[in-house]
Amino acid sequence: MLFLKALLIGGVEEIGWRYTFQPILEEKINYVLATLVTLLAWGSWHFAYYYIDGTLAKLSLTGLASFYLGLLINSFILSALYRKTKSLWICVMTHALINTLAQVSLGGNRFLALACQVLIIILAILVSTTWFKPRVNDF
């Protein structure tokens, strides 16, 4: 059930961020800078969403820093997956998996949260290197 919720709510964000916004940026600036600009926009969107939602008030400064560090990592994972595969679906599914594992590890178990992030990174690398041919000038 958590995955379905994450698929419908978080995964749909990828239409805006990885499918539309970042490719437009990459027409004008390099991949890394485009990913960082996308991160700033994505982070601002989450900040506004969680402020309105009321969740932001519940986060400590450490929790907020951890959240934005996760966004940084996830921004590069998702943008690399999209750049490599041109598959919006893979980004949507990966985003939903990230959100689902984040919900499962919310109980405060930092090791579980870190293990989930490492698992996602490994899966992203496997998917992008095994199932799809590399593109010229990826980076």
Per-residue confidence of the chain (139 residues) as pLDDT tens digits? 777 887 877 778 899 999 999 999 999 999 999 999 999 999 998 888 777 777 766 777 887 887 888 888 889 889 988 988 888 988 998 888 888 877 776 665 667 767 777 777 777 777 666 665 555 554 4
Examine residue 32 and state whether it is found in any structural domain, yes or no: yes
Instruction: Return the DSSP state at 20.
Output: I
- Give yes or no for a contact between 91 and 82, defined as CB atoms under 8 angstroms apart: yes
Cα separation, 81 vs 87, in Å, equals: 8
Examine residue 139 and state whether it is found in any structural domain, yes or no: no
116: Cα separation from own chain's centroid = 13
Examine residue 138 and state whether it is found in any structural domain, yes or no: no
**pLDDT the model gives residue 1:** 75
Examine residue 16 and state whether it is found in any structural domain, yes or no: yes
Residue 138 main-chain phi, psi, to 5 deg: -65, -40
Number of structural domains in the chain: 1
Cα separation, 134 vs 121, in Å, equals: 18
Examine residue 136 and state whether it is found in any structural domain, yes or no: no
Cα separation, 116 vs 97, in Å, equals: 9
Examine residue 72 and state whether it is found in any structural domain, yes or no: yes
